[in-house]
């Protein structure tokens, strides 16, 4: 099975109120040192296998200078790449330029992922972000001319938002006519500015209505709802995220990055001081076969296509029904079995956590390896 690679670039020019990602303010000297250590980490851990997707995320990778981005691309040459490899970089409209887009193209990046989140002024003030709509349109048009696949992120369920503002955000995203849209309901995470200010979430009922509205509008506009929170035009799923959702193996390099390799889930340190001293590891979890199988269920059931019973058998040498009694969920219409596919139907996705919890509780066989 081919692996994917995630590379974390934890630098940003400003810090958003909701952000709990591993990030820090851009500092030229620290970035230069970081890139040298990143190269060492990759050389130390990469097992010289073929890679089917690279994703450079952050942080805000596009806040790096042209020279720093060139250094990053020279590091990435280490990897043996599959033909047609998916290669994504996260972009921020505040610091992306025509020159950076051209550099991405030269280095075989073929997908860009941008956080728009909202275009409403009140929402943006709440999120402590800026959006210049003219610049967004200009960059998106340039990216299309250069044939990049484009994803944008949309955030909803903000306390400053109502259905009318959400509809304006959706109008704008639809007008861009891009290939992919990832949506996120606001979560107020610990250690964020929002948490410190004691911000409260909107009601679950309104959150659900907003989610329904997004699903309805995206589908009306020709997008396939292929994962609980993700929409794409035909043939434009995120290869990289599918690797996570299908429980496949991946490398994670950089500050705070996670890897999943040979039955181990490993997370790097979030301390820049430790990372720069090449003390990469934070913790690792050695998975039993039972843990692996739980991840297989939890992740695959997020997808419209669900879990393939044949794949499950090929991977674990067991029939799914030997391990779980999922008959009660079928009788309650909470999951659907269609030929080889077991899935949660779209209208039940909003309660998928509860369904998956019940699924796992139906375990009848433990393997304990």
The residues pairing with 336 across neighbouring beta strands, listed in sequence order, are 343
Binding segment (CB under 6 A) for ligand SF4, from list 55-63, 151-159, 169-177, 293-301: 55-63
The verdict on 58 binding ligand SF4 (CB under 6 A) reads yes
Q: Binding ligand SF4 by CB under 6 A: which of 9, 19, 150, 242?
A: 19
Angle between the N-to-C axes of helices 133-145 and 98-106, in degrees from 0 to 180, rounded to the nearest 10? 30
CA–CA dist 349, 230 (Å, integer): 12
Q: Binding ligand SF4 by CB under 6 A: which of 60, 62, 238, 308?
A: 60
Q: Binding ligand SF4 by CB under 6 A: which of 5, 16, 154, 228?
A: 16
Tokens encoding 7: 């590379």
Binding segment (CB under 6 A) for ligand SF4, from list 17-25, 42-50, 137-145, 207-215: 17-25
* Residues 113, 151 contacting (CB under 8 angstroms): yes
The verdict on 24 binding ligand SF4 (CB under 6 A) reads no
Give, rounded to a whole angstrom, the gap between the first and last alpha carbons of the chain: 22
* Window 201-220: contact mask with ligand SF4 (x via CB under 6 A): --------------------
* Residues 308, 338 contacting (CB under 8 angstroms): no
* Window 87-126: contact mask with ligand SF4 (x via CB under 6 A): -----x----------------------x-----------
DSSP strand E in 234-292: where? Answer: 250-253, 258-261, 264-268, 281-286
CA–CA–CA angle 313, 315, 320 (5° rounding): 35
Question: Which residue number has the CB closest to ligand SF4?
Answer: 19
The verdict on 15 binding ligand SF4 (CB under 6 A) reads yes
* Residues 154, 117 contacting (CB under 8 angstroms): yes
Of 95 and 274, nearer to ligand SF4 (C-beta) is: 95
Residue ranges binding ligand SF4 (CB under 6 A): 12, 15-16, 19, 21, 23, 58-60, 92, 115
């Amino acid at each position: 099975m081919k692996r994917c690679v995630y590379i974390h670039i934890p630098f940003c020019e400003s810090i958003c109120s909701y952000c709990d990602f591993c990030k820090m303010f851009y500092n030229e000297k620290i970035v230069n040192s970081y890139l040298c250590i990143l190269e060492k980490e990759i050389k130390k851990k990469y097992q010289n296998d073929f890679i089917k997707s690279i994703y450079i995320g952050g942080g805000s990778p596009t806040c790096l200078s042209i020279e720093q981005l060139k250094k990053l691309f020279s590091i990435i040459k280490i990897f043996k790449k599959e033909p047609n490899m998916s290669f994504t970089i996260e972009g921020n409209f505040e610091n992306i330029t025509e020159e950076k887009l051209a550099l991405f193209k030269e280095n075989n990046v073929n997908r860009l992922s941008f956080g728009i989140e909202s275009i409403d002024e009140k929402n943006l003030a709440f999120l402590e972000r800026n959006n210049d709509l003219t610049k967004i349109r200009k960059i998106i048009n340039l990216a299309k001319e250069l044939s990049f696949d484009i994803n944008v992120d949309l955030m909803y369920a903000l306390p400053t938002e109502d259905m009318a503002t959400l509809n304006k955000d959706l109008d704008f995203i639809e007008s861009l006519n891009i290939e992919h849209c990832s949506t996120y309901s606001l979560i107020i995470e610990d250690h964020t500015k929002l948490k410190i200010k004691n911000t409260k979430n909107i009601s679950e009922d309104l959150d659900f209505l907003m989610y329904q509205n997004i699903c309805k509008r995206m589908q009306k506009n020709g997008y396939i709802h292929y994962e609980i929170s993700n929409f794409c035009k035909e043939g434009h799923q995120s290869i990289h995220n599918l690797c996570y959702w299908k429980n496949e193996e991946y490398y994670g390099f950089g500050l705070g990055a996670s890897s999943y390799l040979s039955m181990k889930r490993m997370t790097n340190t979030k301390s820049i001081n430790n990372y720069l001293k090449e003390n990469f590891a934070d913790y690792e979890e050695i998975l039993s076969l039972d843990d692996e199988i739980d991840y297989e269920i939890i992740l695959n059931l997020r997808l419209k296509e669900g879990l393939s019973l044949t794949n499950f058998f090929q991977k674990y040498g067991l029939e799914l029904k030997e391990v779980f009694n999922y008959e009660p969920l079928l009788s309650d219409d909470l999951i659907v079995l269609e030929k080889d596919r077991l899935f949660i139907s779209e209208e039940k996705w909003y309660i998928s956590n509860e369904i998956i919890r019940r699924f796992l509780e139906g375990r009848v066989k433990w393997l304990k390896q």
